[in-house]
Amino acid sequence: MVGAALDIFSKGGFAFLSRWAHVVVGITWIGLLYYFNFVQVPAFAEMEGAARNNAIDKLASRALWWFRWAAVATVVTGLLILGFQDEFTKSSYFKSPGGIAIASGILLALTMFVNVWGIIWRNQKIVIANARNVQAGGEADPAAAAAGRKALLASRMNTIFSLPMLVFMIGASHFETFFNNGLRGFNLDGAHRGLYWGIMIVVWIVFELNALGKIGGTAPGGTNVIYDTHKNAIITGACYAVFVLLVFSLVLAA
């Protein structure tokens, strides 16, 4: 009985705990991402300036604390999963269907993490400082609106990335069985894997450059229409999820 309980302190037990923690903090991170995009941004757009500044000060600042540190916890626990699982230490794993799926999800998740700390939080600090300064009777910061827009674009991009990311993270353990039993198996030679990664990376780069304003600027419309409303972001993310599944199937499935 005691020995069974102590199994939690084994490598297998730590693998379980890290995976459990990863799910909990991941839910927190993505849940807050969806809260910001689906609830807070539309609500703030309907508020008077004074009410919005008060909400930014009292509500958004707290939510952003949980948001950014949940992102850190998600990445850390994800790395712990990789460290405690024997299969991830095998060089051949990331050439397998499950390994390719996990690697694809990791690429999107790490991009989302960088967006949180490098773009969203960096710009939201300007927005929060401006709201607090105005409430204290100071002058509005003319840079706050542009900073808010940059943060919004990155947040909407993360919303788009989150859907294919979840497809890969959740589906990784099922892809091999699905394609082998339900379809045809896999072509996993270097040429097919290279083509797959070439397509995935080009699309990923174009999306991220667009969100950074390097392609379509930061103004509404044009290539930024996918960020202009949360509905557009949801539709784009769903289409992106279907796209990556098609690429996975058409390029890697034999």
How many angstroms separate the first and last alpha carbons of the chain?
A: 48
12-16, 64-68, 177-181: least confidently modelled range: 177-181
Nearest-angstrom CA–CA distance, 129 and 21:
33
pLDDT at 2 over 50: no
Q: What pLDDT is stored for residue 177 in this prediction?
A: 62
Nearest-angstrom CA–CA distance, 186 and 48:
56
pLDDT digits (tens, 9 = 90+) for 74-111: 999 999 988 877 766 666 788 888 888 899 999 999 99
Nearest-angstrom CA–CA distance, 208 and 240:
13
Are the CB atoms for 210 and 223 separated by under 8 Å?
yes
DSSP secondary structure of 172-237: HHHHHHIIIIIS--B--SHHHHHHHHHHHHHHHHHHHHHHTTTTT-SSSSGGGGGGSSHHHHHHHH
What lies within 8 Å, CB to CB, of 113 at 6+ separation is 71, 72, 74, 75
Long-range CB pairs of 72-78 (<8 Å, 24+ gap) are: 72/113, 73/21, 73/25, 73/28, 73/29, 74/22, 74/25, 74/26, 74/29, 74/109, 74/113, 75/109, 75/110, 75/113, 77/18, 77/19, 77/21, 77/22, 77/25, 77/26, 78/22, 78/106, 78/109
Are the CB atoms for 29 and 71 separated by under 8 Å?
yes
Q: Give which of 131, 168, 191 is closest to 248, Cα–Cα.
A: 168
Nearest-angstrom CA–CA distance, 4 and 29:
33
pLDDT digits (tens, 9 = 90+) for 222-243: 999 999 999 999 999 999 999 9
Q: What pLDDT is stored for residue 8 in this prediction?
A: 62
pLDDT at 116 over 80: yes
Band of pLDDT at residue 5, cut at 50, 70 and 90: very low
pLDDT digits (tens, 9 = 90+) for 126-179: 999 999 999 999 999 999 999 999 999 999 999 999 999 999 988 766 666 655
Q: Give which of 68, 69, 82, 70 is closest to 25, Cα–Cα.
A: 70
Which has more pLDDT, 251 or 69?
69
Nearest-angstrom CA–CA distance, 240 and 102:
17
Strand partners, 253: 186
